[in-house]
Chains A and B, each alone.
Chain A
């Protein structure tokens, strides 16, 4: 057997294996279905087979053996997607150096982080978990599904964009932490911009070295005694950004620094998919819309530092109305469980419709992560990632009852309540026993 056939067999068996292990079968019946992209079905069913949505409509019959969830009186929405968090990580910032593009968050995934569970109690099924904002160029982020109880390998969404974290402003200037020892370069927004430019210039030089080497290797004239350039993992990452194999996600608050970074991206020709936090995006909505750059922001968390002190709650609504792709993120292991509350606030601030508001935490982040073909709305062919709420998800009185990923139930409030009751009964019994023991003494 030659290498090719072995590869083929291996590949095929992997394919078969993965298709076998992918997802479960489930029929959700009689819920109010908010598809997000294709309107609302007042009373409908969703059939999920092997983790994929096969059918959405009314009166769908369950194939033999398929588990049924009765969602009468409940609201069924696509699983919520958090476009910017730092959960499920064993580390957030590589702070020993200023430029750390070679760092990968997929190397430090922690499948047992309880924040994953917190996320599913709020209907979240997918998160973009990122490097911190301590460095002008941080590390490579990773998209995972919140499959609580599974291994991190099973959580990674491989089809998502490869994204690299950039950061501007106060955090990289280290404005808000006391200086220990010598101050770190950069200390100003001038330095921040300059250091990112420096790294891209280096990366271009690095790429040219390799191109020259590879070209020289091709020609008999120059191929002799050639020494390959040194492989540099940091530069490889930046080269991937320049080659368009990776996109930039840039932490920025102020409008001015945001515009400067857009200029930088044009200077070098790389793609920015979204700005993170972007408190002042409403000031430059025109530019963002024109450049087709999205924003991933808090709805109303603000004024915790100077660059966040003009981050008005109207940001999401106003930018949406002006053609910017907006997602609401949590950036927190707590806020992650109430993103649907934040989405509702965008109706009050900015006058978004219900549909536009839900998009902020479903299809919009899906587009920003490059997973809109598999998630972010309830459509045939997409993954069966679903959240079920007892009341309208945009009501202040709602709560998430079930969180489903690829047809498998990961959070079930009824089950949770049952387990808690049992635990409390047990505790009471133990206390009684203790009292009895104490009494006989």
Chain B
């Protein structure tokens, strides 16, 4: 009887796991004839990419295609790894002016408990548009307050939030209080306010550390009382332990310096976001070894003397200084424009190959998922884009998109509405 149950259980496990893998893996796919730009490693002309079980099985020139493999003819196309948006509001906002559709910002100043992936709308009309532009992964980030909440990394396909989430907590987002630019007498008030807010940030981290200490002590000693549950401190624990990085939105020269100092003093793992004045303090950032994610480059500098192209040339300067960087769309409805930002930086001094890395392998490294994605290499998840040209070019058409080895649709509300009215 026991034996029988055992056999049955084994059969059950095997068949269930078989079913699961069957469902996960569409079998072997061979992408044939494409010019492959693996991002890491040399470019390959007329190459082959084998996909098995959702992963990249092989990339190269003389690769045997197993019998029964589904062949995707990619002659004349260029194969790229799927792009990664370094920060956006995909699935968190539909229509900007309608608050009912906006879910990436909370009220109040400290919201470490807020998680964007728990507000994710898989049906968002913006997600397929990003996807059909070659973006396969995105960091969905919160905003507002001092501590805005936690961002998550998602794949741009899935019926439910769960199916989409790759990493539910990537970073704790902090909006660094900006110091006023000019030291005029009248502005002492906001100046004080900014430094007061930095003190407040430090204070809450200090409290979180103490909270942890008390928890640890209580764990060892049953006689001690547990600290009273505190929601804010609870969710800051992985931050103070250095497990969860903080992503600090910061722009002006002095603020960047202050943010670096803050990170150092608090011994945090950090990513800087925005960093529009970065080119003025490239050395400081380099020394801190903190990576940078740029926001939208489509902004005119507020300071005339910075020059009209300050935002455009900033990535090039920081890259030259040896700072790790990535690009972001900082948008929902225009998240599809991620490659435009990278290309714009390339137009103004950033090396073209570096620009491509800024939307592929670099964000993967910054988010700690570079073993999984960011390039076309054996063993990585098969996020592959087949395009008829340079993936950062405005005129390029994306022909096929694979996420986790499965081909996904490149249609969107754009094409659906167009087709509907073409019938008129």
As a 0/1 sequence over residues 284 to 317 of chain B, the CB contacts with chain A under 8 angstroms (1 = contact) are 0000000000000011100011011100000000
Residue from B298, B396, B418 within 8 A of A282 (CB atoms): B418
Q: Is the CB of A394 within 8 A of B395?
A: yes
Decide if B394 is an interface residue (CB 8 Å cutoff).
Answer: yes
As a 0/1 sequence over residues 278 to 298 of chain A, the CB contacts with chain B under 8 angstroms (1 = contact) are 000011001000000000000
Decide if B200 is an interface residue (CB 8 Å cutoff).
Answer: no
Decide if B347 is an interface residue (CB 8 Å cutoff).
Answer: yes
> Which of B21-29, B93-101, B266-274 participates in binding chain A?
B93-101
> Which of B72-80, B232-240, B338-346 participates in binding chain A?
B338-346
Residue from A118, A345, A395, A420 within 8 A of B300 (CB atoms): A118
Residue from A175, A303, A338, A420 within 8 A of B126 (CB atoms): A303
Q: Is the CB of A309 within 8 A of B95?
A: yes
Q: Is the CB of A305 within 8 A of B340?
A: no
Given A118-B300, A283-B421, A305-B98, does the pair A347, B308 have CB atoms closer than 8 Å?
A: no
Q: Is the CB of B414 within 8 A of A313?
A: yes
Q: Is the CB of B95 within 8 A of A334?
A: no
Nearest CB of chain A from residue B121's CB, rounded to whole Å: 14
Inter-chain CA distance A176–B352, complex, in Å, is 41
What is the chain A residue whose CB lies nearest that of B306?
A: A420
Q: Is the CB of B305 within 8 A of A423?
A: yes
Q: Is the CB of B344 within 8 A of A302?
A: no
Q: Is the CB of A306 within 8 A of B95?
A: yes
Q: Among the interface residues A302, A306, A345, which one has the most CB atoms of the partner chain B within 10 A?
A: A302
Nearest CB of chain A from residue B278's CB, rounded to whole Å: 16
Q: Is the CB of B298 within 8 A of A338?
A: yes
User: Which residues of chain B (110-126) have a CB below 8 Å from chain A?
Assistant: 125-126
Residues of the B chain whose Cβ atoms lie less than 8 Å from the Cβ of A396: 339-340, 343-344, 346-347, 390, 392-395
Residue from B305, B334, B348, B413 within 8 A of A399 (CB atoms): B348
Given A305-B95, A306-B97, does the pair A312, B417 have CB atoms closer than 8 Å?
A: yes
Q: Among the interface residues A117, A304, A397, A398, which one has the most CB atoms of the partner chain B within 10 A?
A: A397
Residue from B95, B300, B394 within 8 A of A333 (CB atoms): B300
Decide if B397 is an interface residue (CB 8 Å cutoff).
Answer: yes
Given A118-B300, A121-B308, A306-B95, does the pair A397, B418 have CB atoms closer than 8 Å?
A: no
Inter-chain CA distance A230–B237, complex, in Å, is 76
Q: Is the CB of B298 within 8 A of A304?
A: no
Q: Is the CB of A397 within 8 A of B347?
A: yes
Q: Is the CB of A306 within 8 A of B98?
A: yes
Decide if B183 is an interface residue (CB 8 Å cutoff).
Answer: no
Residues of the B chain whose Cβ atoms lie less than 8 Å from the Cβ of A302: 333
Nearest CB of chain B from residue A201's CB, rounded to whole Å: 33
Residue from A306, A334, A394 within 8 A of B298 (CB atoms): A334
Residues of the B chain whose Cβ atoms lie less than 8 Å from the Cβ of A305: 95-98
What is the chain A residue whose CB lies nearest that of B422?
A: A318
What is the chain A residue whose CB lies nearest that of B390?
A: A396
Decide if A35 is an interface residue (CB 8 Å cutoff).
Answer: no
Inter-chain CA distance A309–B309, complex, in Å, is 31
User: Which residues of chain B (387-408) have a CB below 8 Å from chain A?
Assistant: 390, 392-397
Q: Is the CB of B393 within 8 A of A304?
A: no
Decide if B424 is an interface residue (CB 8 Å cutoff).
Answer: yes
Nearest CB of chain B from residue A127's CB, rounded to whole Å: 16
Residues of the A chain whose Cβ atoms lie less than 8 Å from the Cβ of B304: 114
Decide if A378 is an interface residue (CB 8 Å cutoff).
Answer: no
Q: Is the CB of A303 within 8 A of B94?
A: yes
Inter-chain CA distance A15–B106, complex, in Å, is 64
Q: Is the interface of B mostly helix, strand, loop or mixed?
A: loop
User: Which residues of chain B (339-362) have a CB below 8 Å from chain A?
Assistant: 339-340, 343-344, 346-348, 352
Decide if A416 is an interface residue (CB 8 Å cutoff).
Answer: yes
Decide if A301 is an interface residue (CB 8 Å cutoff).
Answer: yes
Decide if A163 is an interface residue (CB 8 Å cutoff).
Answer: no
Nearest CB of chain B from residue A239's CB, rounded to whole Å: 36
Q: Is the CB of A300 within 8 A of B334?
A: yes
Q: Among the interface residues A175, A286, A312, A394, which one has the most CB atoms of the partner chain B within 10 A?
A: A312
Residue from B96, B397, B424 within 8 A of A303 (CB atoms): B96
Decide if A210 is an interface residue (CB 8 Å cutoff).
Answer: no
Q: Among the interface residues A345, A348, A394, which one has the most CB atoms of the partner chain B within 10 A?
A: A348
What is the chain A residue whose CB lies nearest that of B348?
A: A399
Nearest CB of chain B from residue A296's CB, rounded to whole Å: 20
Residue from A318, A333, A398 within 8 A of B347 (CB atoms): A398
Residue from A301, A309, A318, A397 within 8 A of B343 (CB atoms): A397
Inter-chain CA distance A305–B417, complex, in Å, is 18
Decide if A310 is an interface residue (CB 8 Å cutoff).
Answer: yes
Inter-chain CA distance A119–B98, complex, in Å, is 31
Q: Is the CB of B333 within 8 A of A341?
A: no
Q: Is the CB of A304 within 8 A of B96?
A: yes
Inter-chain CA distance A177–B151, complex, in Å, is 30
Given A121-B308, A283-B421, A303-B94, does the pair A397, B395 have CB atoms closer than 8 Å?
A: no
Nearest CB of chain B from residue A79's CB, rounded to whole Å: 17
Nearest CB of chain A from residue B59's CB, rounded to whole Å: 26
Inter-chain CA distance A333–B309, complex, in Å, is 14
Residues of the A chain whose Cβ atoms lie less than 8 Å from the Cβ of B418: 282, 312, 314, 318
Inter-chain CA distance A301–B309, complex, in Å, is 22
Residue from A318, A347, A416 within 8 A of B307 (CB atoms): A416
Nearest CB of chain A from residue B296's CB, rounded to whole Å: 10
Inter-chain CA distance A420–B305, complex, in Å, is 8
Inter-chain CA distance A176–B96, complex, in Å, is 10
Residues of the B chain whose Cβ atoms lie less than 8 Å from the Cβ of A318: 418, 422
Extra pairs beyond A301-B334, A306-B98, A396-B343 (10, CB < 8 Å)? A302-B333, A306-B95, A314-B414, A344-B395, A347-B394, A348-B394, A395-B393, A395-B395, A397-B343, A397-B393
| 24 sampled A-B residue pairs with Cβ under 8 A | A114-B304, A282-B417, A283-B421, A300-B337, A303-B333, A304-B97, A304-B333, A309-B94, A313-B414, A314-B414, A314-B415, A314-B418, A335-B298, A338-B344, A341-B340, A345-B394, A348-B394, A394-B394, A396-B346, A396-B390, A396-B392, A397-B347, A416-B307, A420-B307
Would you list the 4 A-B pairs with minimal beta carbon distance, nearest first? A396-B343, A303-B333, A344-B394, A305-B97
